[in-house]
Structure 1
């Protein structure tokens, strides 16, 4: 298949390529989950990596390259590699590495395809539950069934999932971060910290949570689940910390995600406060 043929691939075909790669990595991850493993730190004790992150990515990369020849691949562990074809893949081989390393079954494989600067296909695979969230131009799906968020609950009955504030948020925002978290605790029925941004947004897309907030994400964390949520009828609002955003919404360092019809003033106020502080306004 040539790069010209790759450009002509339907987004559903790209979704199929990503699903196959994610399932193959998932088979491997199920086999090593809760086994003894060496855990390394990247930036600090909150940012972990295992040999299985790297092994999972090495399973995924050739399958994407074969499925869409000439693709450029951006992986969390392997960096940028591949060709200069029309498709760029974003890969997170284990989103939720801390959970995976500690034996907590809330992690996923996330793969997204970008073409002409736009995310056009994406999958989030939960290998332990064996659930495949996916999206392309023909909609969003959970396994083989169409996926819709359903109507969001009001804040007094709703759940928000967020990792905010992280240790780095506390360093950046100080006491304002704790005040913001307190406002979410007061406004929502429940606040959860799950440890995987991609799987969290997928849960919002499935209607299993009402909203989510992320303050420090990378494109491979959110590109796939952002598309899944939007195709399922939900809303994904990027949070840009620069005055002049450049590129697609998956490149923004923060986000607010909600089910269809979700209206949460306290969540919006926290998100706006984060943006204001990051911009130094």
Structure 2
């Protein structure tokens, strides 16, 4: 278990790395750029994803040689005690298209426990962060807030996307209809990490996701939980801890209880038509 001091030190490194790549990414945003396809036509990568991940990796190993680095683009490197989960650009399609909703996400875990996390939105200038001492937005403490009534809730989610439809078929559309009917509003902003960060800041009430990877959610989980929110990780319809290793999840703020969201997510997690494909290397 990491101490509060160690957690704070790891957060300082994560913050340094995120800020270092944030400015070059901001300058590259809305400039002409090419991209390549990864898994399919819905999953792209730019030279800026790869360059940012390499710069973050360099900073982390320079500061903490005893590290394991797990990045979306380059996979796993090292075998150290501090495990870093990094998404150099969460929301690459937004970034490449000129839509101002993307971020850098960096988290550190020790002995399976998340101890530091940063989500940096360079366009808005919002730096969400957490260590074992609490959650902050631009160094100001934050606590999530959620409407008690699910019918008044704003849900942020990327569900359903093309992969979800392939996984669960027409059930995706039935589940979507239930969520649309049960919540005041459902919005897809294109970045799962920012969904969690906005929830932690009290700007939304709930979120959910399917078929995610640790770099998508690790920083956001710590920020949300340290802000007083609830995050439930699911694997094949069963709760899983550590939650950042779970492919499916739902989350909400404060003392809220959203029965439709919970039921729908459990059902989708348990009934996928095809096996999940985790992309973590090693």
- Whether the TM-score (by the shorter chain) exceeds 0.5 is yes
Q: 2:234 aligns with which of 227, 230, 239?
A: 239
Matching residue of 1:3: none
* Number of residue-to-residue matches in the alignment: 273
Are 1:185 and 2:180 matched, yes or no?
yes
Partner Cα distance (1:152, 1:76) in 2: 34
- After TM superposition, the score normalised by the length of structure 2 is 0.92
Q: 1:65 aligns with which of 53, 61, 66?
A: 61
Structure 1 residues 243 and 237: alpha-carbon distance in aligned structure 2, compared to 1, 3 A threshold: closer
Are 1:212 and 2:207 matched, yes or no?
yes
208-217 vs 155-164, which deviates more?
A: 155-164
Are 1:227 and 2:255 matched, yes or no?
no
Q: Where does structure 1 differ by over 4 angstroms across 4 or more consecutive aligned residues?
A: 6-9, 242-245
Q: 2:271 aligns with which of 270, 277, 281?
A: 277
Q: Is the 8 A contact 1:235 1:257 kept in 2?
A: yes
Q: Is the 8 A contact 2:233 2:239 kept in 1?
A: no
SS at match of 2:50: helix
19-28 vs 162-171, which deviates more?
A: 162-171
SS at match of 2:256: coil
Q: Is the 8 A contact 1:152 1:258 kept in 2?
A: no
Q: Is the 8 A contact 1:153 1:210 kept in 2?
A: no
Partner Cα distance (1:111, 1:163) in 2: 20
Q: 1:52 aligns with which of 26, 48, 55?
A: 48
Mapping of residues 1-281 of structure 1, within 5 Å: 10-82=6-78, 84-241=79-236, 245=240, 248-278=242-272
Q: Is the 8 A contact 1:235 1:260 kept in 2?
A: yes
32-41 vs 269-278, which deviates more?
A: 269-278
- After TM superposition, the score normalised by the length of structure 1 is 0.93
CA shift digits 1:52-79 (9 cap, x unpaired): 0001111111111122222111111111
Structure 1 residues 67 and 201: alpha-carbon distance in aligned structure 2, compared to 1, 3 A threshold: same
Shift of 1:8: 9.8
121-130 vs 148-157, which deviates more?
A: 148-157
Structure 1 residues 266 and 30: alpha-carbon distance in aligned structure 2, compared to 1, 3 A threshold: same
CA shift digits 1:165-214 (9 cap, x unpaired): 11121122222110110011111110001111111100000010100010
Partner Cα distance (1:244, 1:213) in 2: 14
Q: Once superposed, what is the RMSD of the aligned Cα atoms?
A: 1.9
Unaligned runs of 5+ in 2: 275-282
SS at match of 1:37: coil
CA shift digits 1:68-100 (9 cap, x unpaired): 222111111111113x32101111000000110
Matching residue of 2:278: none
